[in-house]
Amino acid sequence: MHTTTSRPDAQHPQPINEVARVVIALPEDTSFYSGQRFIAVAFDASADGVTHEILGASRPTLPFLAGYEIFSKLCGDRAIRTVDGALRANGETITPERYLGLWRTAIGQPLTPPRFTERYGYAAYAVLGGQFDGLRGKRKSWSSSPFETFDDFEAAHRDRIEYLDDGRCFRIELDLRLTHAARDAFYLESFLSSTGQCEGSDTSIVLKSVDPSRTPSAKTPSAQSDLFTLIAEAA
């Protein structure tokens, strides 16, 4: 008697195996909102390695989320998938309620951007870009912005800005471990939004493996040991 092993296909894809979930706490001065903002990251393991999903990454603005927005994103997608086992935690089936409880714990124990790097070996960057047309000379939309005009932002970050298309466009990556990086990303986005450039713009959060020689901290990260341990246990 022969037995067959089912393999994932278009109709029966391999379940998502979430092995870690991390909430990165952004500084209090990140935005004009009263509540703190976060970046929520789910790590998924498969035979091909580890991938990550940043909650809210599909929206046209930076996924700097309030706590309730994290749960809204989860309830609209990943938590629903646990119902039929399409998403599992550490290889095990899990109820939506227990799954949300794992995220509630993560929200209650957030990591700063530098601590996230030290523990998981990734640095989070805010990536934004746009066209200079309409931006130069543009005044701030929010009184809390540290930049009176876009030109002030450009002057403060000229060394980080990548000038493209013969100087007509730009792209910038802001290392969120640096002081005021999240704040400056937020207010740059407000300039882009005020000129109608958020839709279709190069706006995202990117996680990069850390090169210790480029980290702004003298302390060497711990090379993803915690994440790899979780993956090994889930395998």
- Which domains are present in the chain? 16-121+224-234 (no CATH), 124-209 (3.30.70)
| Cα angle 93-97-98, degrees, rounded to a multiple of 5 | 55
The one-letter amino acid code at 33 reads: Y
| Cα angle 72-175-135, degrees, rounded to a multiple of 5 | 85
The one-letter amino acid code at 154 reads: E
* 175 neighbors 183 (Cβ within 8 angstroms): no
Q: Residue 215's pLDDT band (boundaries 50, 70, 90)? A: low
What phi, psi does 16 have (nearest 5°)?
Answer: -70, 130
45-55: b (≥16 Cβ within 10 Å) or e: beeeebeebbb
Q: Model confidence over 163-214: pLDDT tens digits?
A: 999 999 999 999 999 999 999 999 999 999 998 887 656 799 999 998 644 5
pLDDT at 20 over 90: yes
CA distance 25 to 106: 11
Say how many C-beta atoms besides its own lie within 10 A of residue 75's C-beta.
12
HSE-CB of 139 using CA atoms within 13 angstroms = 1
* 194 neighbors 138 (Cβ within 8 angstroms): yes
What pLDDT is stored for residue 47 in this prediction?
87
Q: Model confidence over 91-127: pLDDT tens digits?
A: 999 999 999 999 999 999 999 999 999 999 999 999 9
pLDDT at 7 over 60: no
What pLDDT is stored for residue 234 in this prediction?
44
Q: Residue 10's pLDDT band (boundaries 50, 70, 90)? A: low
Q: Residue 59's pLDDT band (boundaries 50, 70, 90)? A: confident
How large is the average pLDDT for residues 145-158? 98
